Amino acid sequence: MSAIRKPFFLWRHLNKLRWLVLSLIFMMLVFLPFVHVYQTYVASFSYDLLSENEKELFDIMAALTSPLTDNPADDLDAIKGNTWSGNFFGYQISDPLAVVGQVAAGLSVYWPFVLTALLPVIFTLLFGRFFCGWICPATFLYELNTIVSLSLQRAGIKVGQRRFDRRLKYLVLVIGLIISAISGSVLISVIYPPAIIGRELYFGIALGGVGAGLVFFVLTLLFDLFVSRRGFCRYVCPGGALYSLLGRFRLFRIRRIVENCNDCAKCNAVCEFALDPLHDDFGQECNNCTACIAVCPTDAMTFVIRPVDEPNQGPGHLGKKYKRQQQQKG
């Protein structure tokens, strides 16, 4: 019998780090439109023409950015955009779905743009659907929405628990690309929540008005609340589908240590994507969010470096089912 292994003690805390990253990225998306508004005030030398609120914003932003730069109108251009496509100190990073959608819509390949998705693609090949759990600004809101749904449940209001076929989102991806190709317009960006969040936050803060995208996003929140928990990410999101396909043979994946497992199924309950960690069925859709590692009471979940999942290892050795099996054998 192999020695009982303990997972590296830090893996358990990765879920907190993930929440930190998600909130930082969301705060960044809220902060950047304010930066832009401040830049336009600076560029137009219009401090004396601003209203009281605008002056307040100007003063706050000036206090925040003056240690970093004395030429805010130009220097603060270093970080622009959102998770759909952004500019980070001169390096353009785009969502792979943006590239695929653009190729479908234009029926042509513009290489400088394709290369902007290189970094996310490499990371997805290594870490799987990590974007969905660690970066996506919509995930941040959807997970808060899950908390709302839990408190609604506690208050006795019925929330949606329906399950659909997870393969639906691949169909959405294909249909979205076909519609983009037929219309000659990157329409897949219209149904992709992280792109919507990035845009609508900018529209709302800097341009003073929100568009149809926000209506769509609120509908997805209601869908998650009253039809199916985390339903959009699980069953509909075209970006999630693309990341899942890219992350099928990811190198870093979570694995169950069968010797430590007691079949409590908390991992299955906590999994945002309705996967089946208890029976070693992580599959291509695991986003390495590490919620199952954090929740496991017996340290039975850990990270391993290998391109495929373990086949089903059977019941956990600390569980009743395994003991019964052993007794029958013995």
Partner 1 sequence: MKRRHFLKELVAGAVASSVLKSSLAEAAFSAQTAQRYLRPPGALAEEEFESRCIRCGQCGEICPNRCIEYFDLENGIDSLNTPFIVPRTKACILCMKCGQVCPTGALKPLERTANDILTHVRMGRARVEESLCLSFQGKTCGVCYRACPLQDVAIRVGLLEQPHVLDGCVGCGLCERSCIQLPQAIKIIPNHIIKATAS
For 62-220, where are the E strands, in sequence order? 79-81, 85-88, 91-94
Stretch that binds partner 1, among 6-14, 78-86, 218-226, 280-288 (CB under 8 A): 78-86
31-70 mask for partner 1 (x: CB under 8 A)? Answer: -xx--xx-xx--xx--------------------------
Rounded to 5°, the CA angle 138-139-144 comes to 100
218 binds partner 1 (CB under 8 A): no
- CB within 8 Å of 78: residues ≥ 6 apart: 87, 88, 89, 90
- Give the residue with the Cβ less far from partner 1, 92 or 268: 92
The three-class DSSP label of residue 88 is strand
116 binds partner 1 (CB under 8 A): yes
- CB within 8 Å of 244: residues ≥ 6 apart: 128, 129, 169, 284, 285
* Most distant pair of Cα atoms in the chain: their distance: 88
- CB within 8 Å of 138: residues ≥ 6 apart: 193, 194, 196, 197, 217, 233
204 binds partner 1 (CB under 8 A): no
Token pair for residue 187? 């329409």
Measure the N-to-C terminal CA separation of the chain; round to a whole number of Å: 16
- Give the residue with the Cβ less far from partner 1, 138 or 254: 138
182 binds partner 1 (CB under 8 A): yes
| Distance in angstroms (rounded) separating the CA atoms of residues 184 and 103 | 10
Taking CB under 8 A as the criterion, the residue among 7, 25, 26, 84 binding partner 1 is 84
Taking CB under 8 A as the criterion, the residue among 15, 94, 220, 284 binding partner 1 is 94
Taking CB under 8 A as the criterion, the residue among 15, 82, 139, 302 binding partner 1 is 82
110 binds partner 1 (CB under 8 A): yes
245-284 mask for partner 1 (x: CB under 8 A)? Answer: ----------------------------------------
Could you give the count of Cα atoms lying within 13 Å of 31 in the half-sphere of its Cβ? 12
Binding site for partner 1 (CB under 8 A): 32-33, 36-37, 39-40, 43-44, 73, 77, 80-82, 84-87, 92, 94, 98, 101-102, 105-107, 110, 112-113, 116, 182-187, 189-190, 195, 198-199, 202-203, 206-207, 211-213
